[in-house]
Amino acid sequence: MVFIISCARSLPTLPDLIFVQIPIQAKSDLPAEKHMYTPIDRYVNGTRIVVFRTSATEPVNLTPEFTAACDPDVSFDGETIIFAGKKYPDDSWQIWRMNTDGSNKLQITRGEDDRIAPIHAGNRFYLNDPQPTPQIIYVSSMHDWKNEHGVGPALSLFGTDPEGKSVHRLTFNLLSDFSPDVLPNGRIVFTSQQHSGDPYQPTYISALMGINNDGTDLMLFHSSHEMPLYKDMIHVSDFDERVYFIETDRSTWLGGGNIAYVSRRRPLHTYHRLSHDKGLFHSPCPLPDGGLVASYRSNSTNVEFGIYRINPKSGKRQGKIFEEEEWHSIDVQVLAPHPKVKGRSNWLIPGSTTGVFYCLNSYSSNLPEGENIIPGSIKYLRVIEGVPLKRESTISEYQQDLADTLNLRTYSGTAFGPRRILGVAPVEKDGSFHIRVPAETPLTFQLLDDNYLALRSQEIWTWVIGNENRGFIGFPENWEMAPPNKMVDAVIKPAFELTLPPEQRRIVDFHSQIAPIIESKCATCHVSGQTLSLEEAKNVRPGAAFSQAYMTLLDPIQGRENERYIVPGNAKQSPLIWHLFGEQIVSDKTPYTIEITSMPPRNALKPKERILFIEWIDLGAQWDSRAAIDRGLNK
């Protein structure tokens, strides 16, 4: 039975709407702790796209011949809809196009992998193109990268022409990028997962990032490493300056939380939480009259999402538009023409394998005053490559992965994925650097002092497209700050080359580099209780087999449960490194109650050996990165 409740007569007439319906019985069987904070859980059979016209009393199913269909996006002229669909149960999710009455369905993309969440974007064109090419941006795991933390695929953004013939990848995150929408200037804003929290237990947090439709100029749009954990369902308003999204700290298979928005002109400084209801809001959609609609349900179990008008000033529900028993109704879109966004003139050179990063001043930062680095202390830049684990993983395989027991990987006892060092580049006295790196490769940076200790580490993965030159004003950059009007030292020099082939990029892990040093210079003084035994201790953690020495350094110290010898990802705060230097390097962040003495007291480490310990910890204190990389790349 269908229940349709009209809004109050004082409210303007609604335009025609399209939305997605999901059977309420299609609820995911995954426990809450297994959800990976991506929308992928709600891609289930039985979903359908419906149209709800002003003149009608009930919606019409536009995709009756499909096993599943969702993610509708209306063309700029309002005449067609692109969507994600699977016609038969064994099909993969692909991008389709249809008329607004459901006729003339045409498959755009093809392949065994899944492709979802399409949006219309602006034109993309090279200077020698005869005419601009409209773009469709979508989400896919077609690159076969596995999530950095080892379960399910890493979703990425891709672009293609309206026929699906020319496909190019836009993002190279080792976690997932999804939920794209397009700004009036043609930039794509999307949700990007980032690593955060305890290095021993993976924690995900999401930010809103922006990128051009050719993949260039990746930049923070809103909320880097700021709560809440989960931000999704981005919708750029065509009728005012707002960019809406849903935010929450709760993980549910269908998603939902509070409505928030930022201004697209100053997204870093205009955040506003709109809704304060105890229930769950879903997929906000601005209306031409300045109003807002969104789906909503209470926190009660087995309750459907219905569609409501929302007051865009107070966030309160003003009236129910539509609700149907046994169906969740979500992802509302206005079925009407809307302004076409700007295109992008492309200077990239097809086939280019490198790009350039430059920074004007590493000492300049968007961090609070007390976290600034002392001028003159930055000497080097360490460039780290994140190595993706490869595995074919469709949505159904991903969901099966999550249903299985999640064990720690045998190649590491920390939450860091396998990494390699591209190299170390000089930082000039004015804080500038200029480097050439491999293109389309996930990278992160660390600023180093004269002892090669990381003073600051970048917390996100970044990359360049082939032939791209991307600049930073600071580190981390204040995205709204204007650069100083001066020529910096590094930019007037050739870019420092960090373009070694993969087989020559350095791996630093415990098994290959650190264990031999411990065996030759440390074990003789630490034989008591076999605390630094290099023999593998089976089942010290579920699914893992590490040596006792590795676990001694990684786990809480026996009898001092709040203390550890190392802090993965931060050598400067690791007491082990203090002992190697014979002094406490920092004093306010790491609990440690034992007097710092120089170790080893005899047969001291050579400078290169000490640097290996520093690199090992700064890269995440991996157990066996070489095995992880070999195993991952060969899958």
Q: Looking at the predicted structure, is the pLDDT value of residue 196 above 80?
A: no
Answer with the one of 321, 345, 369 that is the final residue of a domain. 345
Confidence grade of residue 410 (pLDDT, cut at 50, 70, 90): low
Q: List C-alpha distances in Å: 259 to 139, 285, 295, 315, 317.
A: 23, 10, 10, 8, 12
Residue 278 lies in a domain: yes
Check whether residue 227 and residue 243 sit in a common domain.
Answer: yes
Alpha helices, DSSP H, located in 175-330:
none
Q: Looking at the predicted structure, is the pLDDT value of residue 404 above 80?
A: no
Q: Looking at the predicted structure, is the pLDDT value of residue 403 above 90?
A: no
Residue 628 lies in a domain: no
Peptide bond into 59 cis (omega under 30): no
Compute the average pLDDT of residues 137-147: 90
H or E element that contains 115:
strand 115-126
The two structure tokens encoding residue 328 = 């969740």
Which of 559, 560, 554 has the alpha carbon at shortest distance from 532? 554
Check whether residue 406 and residue 455 sit in a common domain.
Answer: yes
Structural domain boundaries, residue 317: 17-345
Check whether residue 496 and residue 525 sit in a common domain.
Answer: no
**Mean pLDDT lowest among 456-470, 495-509, 532-546:** 532-546
Check whether residue 321 and residue 394 sit in a common domain.
Answer: no
Check whether residue 530 and residue 476 sit in a common domain.
Answer: no
Answer with the one of 504, 521, 550 that is the final residue of a domain. 504
Which of 550, 537, 610, 540 has the alpha carbon at shortest distance from 580? 610
Whole-model pTM over 0.85: yes
Confidence grade of residue 444 (pLDDT, cut at 50, 70, 90): very high
Residue 131 lies in a domain: yes
Check whether residue 127 and residue 268 sit in a common domain.
Answer: yes
- Other beta carbons within 10 angstroms of residue 605's beta carbon come to 17
Residue 230 lies in a domain: yes
**Mean pLDDT lowest among 31-35, 170-174, 385-389, 509-513:** 31-35
d(CA 113, CA 160): 15
Query: Which span out of 195-204, 465-474, 623-632 was modeled with the highest average pLDDT?
Result: 465-474
Residue 156 lies in a domain: yes
**Torsional class of 276: left (φ above 0), alpha (ψ -120 to 50), beta (otherwise):** alpha
Residue 595 lies in a domain: yes
Residue 10 lies in a domain: no
User: Which pLDDT score is estimated for 277?
Assistant: 79
- CATH number of residue 104's parent domain: 2.120.10.30
- What are the tens digits of pLDDT across the range 548-570? 888 889 888 888 888 899 999 99
User: Which pLDDT score is estimated for 600?
Assistant: 73
Answer with the one of 504, 520, 547 that is the final residue of a domain. 504
Interior/surface letters 484-495, b for 16+ CB within 10 angstroms, e for the rest:
eeeebebbeeeb
- What are the tens digits of pLDDT across the range 231-279? 999 999 999 999 999 999 877 788 899 999 999 999 988 999 999 878 9
Compute the average pLDDT of residues 272-298: 94
Check whether residue 352 and residue 341 sit in a common domain.
Answer: no
**How many separate domains does the chain show?**
3
Check whether residue 197 and residue 118 sit in a common domain.
Answer: yes
Residue 392 lies in a domain: yes
Supply φ then ψ for residue 612, to 5 degrees. -60, -45
Long-range contacts of 547-553 (CB under 8 A, 24+ apart): 547/510, 547/515, 549/515, 549/518, 549/523, 550/413, 550/510, 550/515, 550/623, 551/413, 553/621
Q: Looking at the predicted structure, is the pLDDT value of residue 470 above 50?
A: yes
Check whether residue 185 and residue 42 sit in a common domain.
Answer: yes
User: Which pLDDT score is estimated for 539?
Assistant: 45
User: Which pLDDT score is estimated for 595?
Assistant: 84
